[in-house]
Amino acid sequence: MKKAPAKMKKAAAKMKKAPAKFNKGLKAASKAGKLDNNPKFKAAVDASPATMKKAAMKMKKESMAMMKKSVAMMKKASAMKMKMDKSAAKLKKKK
């Protein structure tokens, strides 16, 4: 039987140690004491990272929209520059 490479073992260990993300309903149930019959699961829910707040999510969406807009403007500017270069080349050929 082959042994798993060391990298795979480390990756598996990281996956076990990484906290899972649980939804608000499970967090609320944990606070209400509904998960008391399963202490390991309750501990995992309590230790999980908090979900992103709405304000932070909104800020992230706005920054992504601004980035997309700036990329579009850059493309438009480069297209206009290429048009100007072509027209300048045509004028030089006419002379």
Q: How many CB atoms lie within 10 A of CB 51?
A: 13
Interacting residues of 27 by C-beta distance below 8 A, sequence separation 6+: 45, 46, 48
The model's pLDDT over 28-84, given as tens digits with 9 standing for 90+, comes to: 888 888 888 888 888 888 887 766 566 667 778 888 888 888 998 999 999 998 888
Q: How many CB atoms lie within 10 A of CB 27?
A: 16
CA pair distance 32, 20, nearest whole angstrom = 20
pTM of the full structure: 0.34
Cβ atoms 50, 24 nearer than 8 A: no
Interacting residues of 49 by C-beta distance below 8 A, sequence separation 6+: 19, 21
